[in-house]
Amino acid sequence: MPFFFFDWTFYLLIPALLLALWAQGRVKSAYARYSQVAAAAGMPGATVARQLLDRNGLQNVGIEEVPGDLSDHYDPRTRTVRLSAANYHQPSLAGLAVAAHECGHAVQHAKAYAPLAFRTAFFPVAGFGSRMAIPLFFIGFLFSAGGGGNLTVLMDIGILLFAAFVVFNLVTLPVEFDASRRALAMLQGSGYMSQTEVGGARKVLNAAAWTYVAAATMALLQMVRLIVLRGFRD
């Protein structure tokens, strides 16, 4: 959530910004490398995803192709695994890893995995918080500077709303790590990848996981920044 007018508290965000840049570079590098490595199974991501879902009794979960690069996701509302074009059609290690990861989310949903259930239910609250927190805080911060003490309550509300966004990012971590764990287990256990190939898939998924760590770190440090700025009005 951006809040980038410059003052000394901006320096609090630098570690998270550096981590985010590193994570993005790492995931792009790993994906680019292993999207060029064909899986010995010779099946595209969509086929492997369909078979993995069926093996887990999830014939009711659909698979769709979506535009974009690395736009893959699982939609719990419609029970649909959505794969970007490259991962849908190509039999690469990266494509199979990503497809299996999204199937991991579908399995989580079917098994009522608590962190996923919480994240799904909490999403509207976090979304509202991410949209409203900074505008409310910014209004309170600006207009309380001239002695408008009553407006500091807007800053407090903004911090509380942003806290919901932070919680959402933190809960996302176990959800994503667990989906990757399930993905690797399914790929190897079902014979779609050898031990050597699983090593490449793991690198792709681990690199992707760091983007979620970076997002959670940014959210936490942003909240620390809001709290520090709030202290300027006491």
pLDDT in tens, 183-207: 999 999 989 999 899 999 999 999 9
Query: What pLDDT, on the 0 to 100 scale, is given for residue 234?
Result: 65
User: Which residue out of 64, 65, 102, 176 is catalytically annotated?
Assistant: 102
Give me the helix-helix angle, 152-189 and 114-143, nearest 10°: 150
SS3 83: strand
Comparing 8-12, 32-36, 49-53, which segment has the lowest mean pLDDT? 8-12
pLDDT in tens, 45-86: 999 999 999 999 999 999 999 999 999 999 999 999 999 999
DSSP state of 77: T
Output the pTM of the full model: 0.89
Pairwise CA distance, residues 158 & 76, whole Å: 29
SS3 152: helix
Pairwise CA distance, residues 202 & 197, whole Å: 9
Task: Judge whether 176 counts as a catalytic residue.
Answer: no
Comparing 9-13, 61-65, 143-147, 179-183, which segment has the lowest mean pLDDT? 143-147
User: Cα Rg for the chain, rounded, in angstroms?
Assistant: 21
